[in-house]
Amino acid sequence: MNKIRSFSLTPYLFLMPALIIIIVFLLYPIGAVVYYSFTDYSITTPPVWVGIENYQKLLNDPIFWKALQNSFVYLLVTPALIFISILMAIVVNRKLPGITLFRTLFFIPVISGSIAVGIAWRMMLDTNGIINSILMTIGMIKDPIQWLAEPAYTLGIAMLLTTWMGMGYYMMIFLAGLQNIPEELYEAAELDGCNAWQKHWVVSIPGLRPQITFVTVISSLAALQVFNEIYILTGGLGGILNSGVTVVFYLWRQAFRLNHAGMASAIAMVLLVITLLFSIINIRAMESGTEADA
Amino acid sequence: MKNKLFQVLFVMLVTASLLLAACAPAAPVTPAATPQTIVQTVEVTKEVVQTQVVQVTPTPGQDPEAMIAGVEPNAEITLWTFWLSPTFDAYIKDTIASFQKAYPGVTVKWEDHQATFQDDLKNAYAAGNAPDVINLSISEGWVGDYATQGLLLPLDDQVPAAVKSTYFPNLWDQQVVQGKHYQFPWYQGIQVDLVNRQLFDQTGLKVADFPKTIDGLPALCKTIKEKTKTLCDIRLAVNDLLAQMAYEGGVKTISADGKAFTFDSKEAVDWLQMYVNMVKDGTVDKTVLVTDQDRVGLDLFTSGKAAFYNTGPNLIREVRANNPGMYGYLAVVPAPIGKSGVVGKGLMALSVNSKTKFPKASVALAQYFSNARNMLAFAKLVSVYPSTPLSYDDPFFAAAPVAIEDSAKPYAKDSVSKLADILPTIPHKADVNNIVLQAVQSALFNNVDPQKALSDAVAQANKLLP
């Protein structure tokens, strides 16, 4: 019996299309960004090697630290999204007439597109917009508030927008999870004397654990990479006094407003490390959860 | 019988056509490089025929508008315009078609880019496929930005003196980098203020009382807030505050030897203090004040919630399209002038990519689009203004304005002739402007003393100088 396997090109040929796509669209760009992060590069002119200068500048750049802080604050969107989406999933997981309509309505923001939604929100929050109009009508405020020009509100409004846009999508994930939980578990909880909320606390939430872990991973990564909401709401400025500048927005500003693609690449590298760490922590958490369940 | 009659008519028609073609004069050969006056006849209506005199300088070629000699045969060039499609598709396509007739063998591919123009252009340069002819904004300082990076073709040796002299000298001399010119001045705008009379009349003021100088704005905004409960729709040029300081405040931004920034002078502090006071008084919309998108301010005005907005008459069409009810209440006044006494910079330019394979054809196209006749044709479509004095000799500019969009026509030539770029070449301009923006914001919104904010900014900006 001949144990030496003969070399066959066929499997490599099958792998080739995927491999080419990965090299061209993933490995090469990552390699290029790593290289550019050590250069003075303005997109339109050739890069010049500057060593770790971009990273040193970043460490001493207060706006970058502000952007990093804002990005971490933005992560608060994740628990808010999970909480609201589970509540909504529980509400629409009932066999009531017309419930499909509600599910559809809740899902509309997801398919609306962040640019269109951002513009609509900007109009609502305008000095003469509907929000001020309502608040003045009911006597809550005397003079209109310039919501998007108040540094204290910028990030919060963007986070609200992200939450509003995302909750329909995550609701569908939790709804699918809820529908997989056996009805017998709720019956058993009822026999044990649980009321409606207690049933959800002891049955639904543990039953949704895989979905909660999944949503935590993807929504936190999305929160770290937020850009559209900030760009639209702040008219491209990033908020007064950089109040809404996040890491990705700052990356864009460096690359496309200030022409510092080298610096932008260094920011991208920092973001890459942060998202990588997040992914590892989340995946570990997911694995430990699965082991505990087993 | 009918067939026979038809055949006879057909033969007669063909014979007549052949005779006419044979008797027609040969295409005239124009003398080279000698200025001459030609007479063009334009049929304005079925009954009225008007004559206009256009000064052109023919060079070798069949078409008197073919002013650039030695155009590469069979050149294929690309033109990028900024936010002109679809409204002006017909004009651009017609002009390209007539250019291709004037320069036979040259093919032009046209693309219009809009909100992502700058990003697209930078990416195209990085990828090595940037367009040959590029529509760049003078007002945003793009020509200077790209020229300092060596991305644009110097035109000094490419363009005959007779062609250079067809433009207003101050427009030709804009954004000169190290003594070299990089742009053909294209269509210009006249800065005006659009006034919403529905709101403005509530203040008790007359449109004629609109401030003639920038320092009259704070008092006006106070009155508007008191009488109409609306805020002033004023926008800072957040991407080029150095220019705004120079025009409005008469600020000298950099020393004559270029070794130190000087935008913390008394003039600069006074300029910033004016805006700080308006923010403190709560008379300006802060969102608009610091947005980098003109459309945000224009949208606020168009929605009828602002008494006035500084823009070009060409954008009145946006008001008409989006709020026809307000169009009837519009008034147009000349924009207030700053302490520099200069009304403003030019608007649009056409430049040539320094790496083009067809420099002559590209220069020819840029020149063709910006010649007196083609700019006049453009001005007849929308309220933009030619950068060639000759275009204003057309009766179109002498006619009394009918629509509100035409209000600036009577003084357009004078106004355009005074446009000038008074800002010297600033090293690391984008970075310095960003430093100024942070300083201005800290003074406007964080109670930092304007003098301290600007002095700190100067110290920071000076570190960028060699």
**Containing structural domain, residue A121:** 58-256+266-293
Residue A49 lies in a domain: no
Residue A45 lies in a domain: no
Taking the C-alpha atoms of residue B263 and residue B271, their distance in angstroms, rounded to an integer, is 10
Provide the CB-side half-sphere exposure for B271 (13 A, CA). Answer: 28
Suggest the residue from A142, A228, A230, A237 to mutate for an interface test with chain B (most B CBs closer than 10 A): A237
Contact B421, B182 (CB under 8 A): no
Q: What are phi and psi of B48, to 5 degrees?
A: -100, 130
Q: Are strands B348-352 and B133-137 parallel, antiparallel or unpaired?
A: antiparallel
Under an 8 A CB cutoff, do B430 and A257 touch? yes
Q: Chain A residues with CB inside 8 Å of B290's CB? A: 149, 235, 237, 240
Under an 8 A CB cutoff, do B149 and A258 touch? no
CB atoms within 10 A of CB B141: 23
CATH 3.40.190.10 fits B59-64+74-189+345-417, yes or no: yes
CATH fit for domain B192-342+426-462, picks 3.40.190.10, 3.30.420.10, 3.40.50.12780, 3.20.20.100: 3.40.190.10
Nearest to B122 among A43, A127, A236 (CB): A43
Secondary element (H or E) of residue A275: helix A261-293
Taking the C-alpha atoms of residue B213 and residue B217, their distance in angstroms, rounded to an integer, is 8
Residue A18 lies in a domain: no
Whether the full predicted model's pTM is greater than 0.95, yes or no, is no
Residue A75: exposure state from Cβ atoms within 10 A (0-12, 13-18, ≥19): middle
Task: Name the residue of chain A whose CA is nearest to B121's CA.
Answer: A44
Written as six digits, the tokens of A292 are: 């505990």
Contact A190, A212 (CB under 8 A): no
B234-254 burial by CB neighbour count: b if 16+ within 10 A, else e?
Answer: bbbbbbbbbbbbbbbbbbbbb
Residue A19 lies in a domain: no
The reply to whether A235 touches chain B by the CB within 8 Å rule is yes
Give SS3 for B361.
helix
Nearest to A258 among B238, B434, B438 (CB): B434
Contact B121, A43 (CB under 8 A): no
Domain extent listing, chain B: 59-64+74-189+345-417, 192-342+426-462
Q: What are phi and psi of B177, to 5 degrees?
A: -115, 120
Taking the C-alpha atoms of residue A234 and residue A225, their distance in angstroms, rounded to an integer, is 17
The reply to whether A240 touches chain B by the CB within 8 Å rule is yes
Under an 8 A CB cutoff, do B149 and A43 touch? no
Q: Chain A residues with CB inside 8 Å of B431's CB? A: 258
Which parts of chain A have pLDDT scores under 70? 1-5, 289-294
Q: Chains A, B: CB contacts under 8 A, how many? A: 68
Taking the C-alpha atoms of residue B268 and residue B453, their distance in angstroms, rounded to an integer, is 11
CA angle, B271 as apex, B266 and B272 as ends, to 5°? 100
Under an 8 A CB cutoff, do B291 and A257 touch? no
Within 136-155 of A, beta carbons closer than 8 Å to B belong to 146, 148-149, 151
Under an 8 A CB cutoff, do A44 and B151 touch? yes
Strand partners, B213: B337
Contact B219, B275 (CB under 8 A): no
Taking the C-alpha atoms of residue B295 and residue B297, their distance in angstroms, rounded to an integer, is 5
Residue A287 lies in a domain: yes
Tokens 């200068």, located at residue: A53
Residue A123 lies in a domain: yes
Give SS3 for B251.
coil
Residue A194 lies in a domain: yes
Q: What is the pLDDT along chain B (466 residues), one digit of tens a residue?
A: 445 555 555 555 444 444 443 433 333 333 344 455 555 554 444 444 555 555 555 444 456 788 899 999 999 999 999 999 999 999 999 999 999 999 999 999 999 999 889 989 999 998 999 999 999 999 888 999 899 889 999 999 999 999 999 999 999 999 999 899 999 999 999 889 999 999 999 999 999 999 999 999 999 999 999 999 999 999 998 888 999 999 999 999 999 999 999 999 999 999 999 999 999 999 999 989 998 888 889 988 998 999 999 998 878 988 999 999 999 999 999 999 999 999 888 899 999 999 999 999 999 999 999 999 999 999 999 989 999 999 999 999 998 888 888 888 888 999 999 999 898 888 888 899 999 999 999 999 999 999 999 999 999 999 999 8
Nearest to A237 among B151, B290, B430 (CB): B290
Under an 8 A CB cutoff, do A43 and B125 touch? yes
Contact B242, B436 (CB under 8 A): yes
Suggest the residue from B287, B299, B441 to mutate for an interface test with chain A (most A CBs closer than 10 A): B287
CB atoms within 10 A of CB B13: 10
The reply to whether A126 touches chain B by the CB within 8 Å rule is yes
Nearest to A236 among B149, B293, B446 (CB): B293
Task: Name the residue of chain B whose CA is nearest to A240's CA.
Answer: B441
Contact B136, B351 (CB under 8 A): yes
Give SS3 for A23.
helix
The answer to whether the bond into B86 is cis (omega within 30° of 0) is yes
How many domains in chain A?
1
